[in-house]
Structure 1
Amino acid sequence: MMFGLSLAAFTDLHTVISLVAIAAGLIFFGALAFGGRWLWAANMLFLAFTILTSATGFLFPLVGVTPAVIFGVISLILLALSLYALFAVRLAGRWRIVYLATALIAQWLNMVVLVVQSFQKVPALHALAPTGAEPAVLVAQGIMLVLVAFAAWRTLWRARGVAA
């Protein structure tokens, strides 16, 4: 039991938090990359829920140092730097790029986990890749990486002239 929830209910809550974080990140970075608009509400939702998803990940029973633990630590370090850039120095000068780069990497980490978890939990995808090491997983990760890299390039390119 975690916070009065069964492990299954806590897992469902963590999943919903993660999906909200990913969706808010897609909205924020999509608006910035393709419309040149800085959506503060989507940005704040992305930050809050990305921090929550990383933090709640550490509340599951620990079975050693796993990729999930490493991703969580890296994500929280990136998000701490993002928060500093956003709130302490208010995106001044190069801190805007630091903010966007660290937030984009945190979004990418969320999406890597989404792809991995999708192949583990969605029956149709799991049938394609029962061990998670099949070409289908690598192709999905590769496509996702290319899309995120393109959006990151657009975001960072546009951010040079967009007021927050």
Structure 2
Amino acid sequence: MDAVLIIHVIISLLGIVSGYVVIGGMLQAQRLPRWTAFFLVTTVLTSATGFLFPFVKLLPSHILAILSLIVLAVAIYALYSKHLAGKWRAAYVVTAIIAQYFNVFVLIVQAFQKLPPLHALAPTQSEPPFAVAQGVNLLAFIALGYLATKTFHPTAS
């Protein structure tokens, strides 16, 4: 299981980094096809590999992974099947941003669980520092989503 965990964490971090590159491209009306494909693949793998860990009941992390896979399916369909035509451009932007938000949401959860200084601030994740971190994250992604939807009108590539 240790190897699976390490692979899962590496894939997750690669998905987060590539997701920010893709969002940066969106904000500059650039498609960045290779980065986008890498982001979508690593983010799908992040959600899928989460189910490889032993569990006896459905957990919030599983529900989030299922939601992530749903929004990723829409993003992939909008980009590769509908080629961002019409409303599919906005559908792609919104679902890609949501998928990245989910990745960062989980990163924050894990940081507060695993990093001693953060864990000391919010040991049960019901304390204000955790709520503030997640609130700032949400507001940042709402702003990114709004800006990306307005600016991402890429030329065909």
Q: With structure 1 as the length reference, what TM-score do the two structures score?
A: 0.90
Paired residue for 2:99?
106
Alignment of 1:138-153 (within 5 A): 138-153=131-146
The secondary structure found in structure 2 opposite 1:58 is helix
TM superposition shift of 1:51: 0.4
Counterpart pick for 1:91 among 80, 84, 87: 84
- Counterpart-to-counterpart distance in 2, 1:12 and 1:132: 24
- Higher mean alpha-carbon deviation, 123-132 vs 35-44, is at 35-44
Identity %: 44
The secondary structure found in structure 1 opposite 2:90 is helix
- Counterpart-to-counterpart distance in 1, 2:16 and 2:56: 26
Q: Number of matched residues?
A: 156
Paired residue for 1:117?
110
Question: AA paired with 1:147?
Answer: A
Paired residue for 2:154?
162
Q: With structure 2 as the length reference, what TM-score do the two structures score?
A: 0.94
Paired residue for 2:33?
40
Q: Which runs of 5+ in 2 are unaligned?
A: none
Alignment of 1:18-57 (within 5 A): 18-33=12-27, 35-57=28-50
Question: AA paired with 1:8?
Answer: D
Paired residue for 1:3?
none
- Counterpart-to-counterpart distance in 2, 1:86 and 1:101: 12
- Counterpart-to-counterpart distance in 1, 2:45 and 2:25: 23
Question: AA paired with 1:21?
Answer: G
Cα RMSD (Å): 1.2
CA gap of 1:63–1:132, structure 2 versus 1, over 3 A, is farther
- Counterpart-to-counterpart distance in 2, 1:32 and 1:95: 14
Q: Which runs of 5+ in 1 are unaligned?
A: 1-6
TM superposition shift of 1:133: 1.1
Question: AA paired with 1:22?
Answer: I
Paired residue for 2:64?
71
Runs of 4+ in 1 over 3 A off after TM superposition: none
- Counterpart-to-counterpart distance in 1, 2:74 and 2:60: 21
- Counterpart-to-counterpart distance in 1, 2:3 and 2:114: 15
Does structure 2 conserve the Cα–Cα contact (< 8 Å) formed by 1:30 and 1:151? Answer: no
Paired residue for 1:126?
119
